[in-house]
Amino acid sequence: MTKTIKTKISAKDSGDLWRRWALGESFVSIGFALLRDPSTIRQYIRRAGGIAPRAKKRRASALTLKDREEISRGVAANRSVRDIAQQIGRSPSTIARELNRNGRRSLYRAVDADHAAFTRARRPKSCMLSQNNRLRNIVADKLSDDWSPQQIDGWLKAQYPKDRSYWVSHETIYRSLYIQARGVLKKELQKHLRRRRSYRKPNGVQKERRGVITDLVSISERPAEVEDRALPGHWEGDLIEGSQNSYIATLVERSTRHLALVKVNSKETSEVVEKLIRQSKSIPQELYKSLTWDRGSELKQHKQFSLATNVDVYFCDPKSPWQRGSNENTNGLLRQYFPKGTDLSVHSQAHLNKIARKLNERPRKTLGFATPADKFAQCVALTG
């Protein structure tokens, strides 16, 4: 039997839709489960900015349907306002207002009154950014400088530890950006976010190609001191790919999250190793002890690299990008500046240095909202 495709989304189905969206299901999968066309699901989610609406709650002090049924019975029994109030533990003025709002004694009905109260409460609430002009300007300035909402959230708490009027959650910032009906932050600021989407999307699992390499030293043989990030000098590396067979080598120091970008003309192992050797000379030897790399063949000549730099090279297990998580995360951030499908060869080393400096000067939550540049400079000073 053919399933009937519905066009509208009920309140009950809406909850299921947002639950599935949070789990990362596709428009097609959600549509199949709810008997809706995928285009209907897409339109519904985009209209909400990809953010599930907050569930409405009544104040604990508000009259309940049970209270209103008691009021209705009291009215039917011709009891006084004071007697009804005493019966349900409310003030007489509360009962009087309730009756006046809902047709007085002659027309009062509990269910109708409860529905009317719920409808009246559905008024838009002004968000924090609309109430504080200075805070809104600060947030807009930081977004314009490519800070993420989470970085802004942490930085504000660090800058104003005793003034909660300047504490705004990253979720509030995202809502103000994606739900334009709130009219607080300009939509143009969305282009400064890491992911340039028109709505928020749950994180998916990224696939990654793996190469084959011989004579490698497995990550399982990496010293324990590298794992806990207690000591600086241990790096993670990879190549990000663009169109026309263009690449950029990315290196991230595990302890400080300091980033270095290296221009390479191809992914040939001789080219990559030569550029990595040259780049290593800009880092104090005490702060470059090991390098953990993907299993790509671009580092096939890892022994030559180690001989020239005295840096130990370790390779991740197949299909295990989380083993160089800092590098993976940074590569995701870099796609804001180097979108997939663009030619990476057009960028000079000077431009790469500029982008690396930009990321290194942003506060990071994992560093207590200090910057990688400051942390790495402290390490350099200790080695001097």
Q: Are 234 and 325 in a shared domain?
A: yes
Do residues 369 and 363 make contact, with C-beta atoms less than 8 angstroms apart?
Answer: yes
Exposure class string for 166-194: b at 16+ Cβ within 10 A, else e: bebeeebbbbbbbbeebebbeeebbebbe
Per-residue pLDDT, 377:
94
The pLDDT-based confidence of 318 (bands split at 50, 70, 90) is confident
The pLDDT of 140-145, averaged and rounded, is 88
The pLDDT-based confidence of 45 (bands split at 50, 70, 90) is confident
Per-residue pLDDT, 234:
96
Exposure class string for 74-106: b at 16+ Cβ within 10 A, else e: bbeeeeebeebbeebebeeebbeebbeebeeee
Do residues 187 and 177 make contact, with C-beta atoms less than 8 angstroms apart?
Answer: yes
Residues 6+ positions from 80 with CB-CB distance below 8 Å: none
Q: Are 265 and 330 in a shared domain?
A: yes
Do residues 20 and 30 make contact, with C-beta atoms less than 8 angstroms apart?
Answer: yes
* Residue 5 located in a structural domain: no
Which residue has 């994992």 as its token pair? 366
Indicate whether this model's pTM tops 0.75: no
Q: Residue 72's domain spans which residues? A: 65-120
The pLDDT of 296-301, averaged and rounded, is 90
Per-residue pLDDT, 56:
64
The pLDDT of 68-87, averaged and rounded, is 90
Helices 11-22 and 27-34, interaxial angle, to 10°? 150
* Residue 202 located in a structural domain: no
Q: Are 137 and 41 in a shared domain?
A: no
CA separation for the pair 199, 174 (Å, rounded)? 9
Q: Are 155 and 296 in a shared domain?
A: no
pLDDT per residue as tens digits for the range 93-121? 998 998 998 888 888 998 888 888 877 77
Q: Are 278 and 167 in a shared domain?
A: no
* Residue 54 located in a structural domain: no
Do residues 302 and 323 make contact, with C-beta atoms less than 8 angstroms apart?
Answer: no
Q: Are 88 and 180 in a shared domain?
A: no
Do residues 254 and 229 make contact, with C-beta atoms less than 8 angstroms apart?
Answer: yes
* Residue 151 located in a structural domain: yes
- Answer with the residue of higher pLDDT: 199 or 178: 178
Residue 196: how many other CB atoms lie within 10 Å: 11
What are the beta bridge partners of residue 200? none
CA separation for the pair 271, 298 (Å, rounded)? 8
- Answer with the residue of higher pLDDT: 170 or 259: 259
Q: Are 297 and 368 in a shared domain?
A: yes
Per-residue pLDDT, 175:
76
Q: Are 227 and 331 in a shared domain?
A: yes
Do residues 216 and 302 make contact, with C-beta atoms less than 8 angstroms apart?
Answer: yes
Number of domains forming the structure of the chain: 4
The enclosing domain of 265 has a CATH number of 3.30.420.10
Backbone φ and ψ of 259, nearest 5°: -110, 140
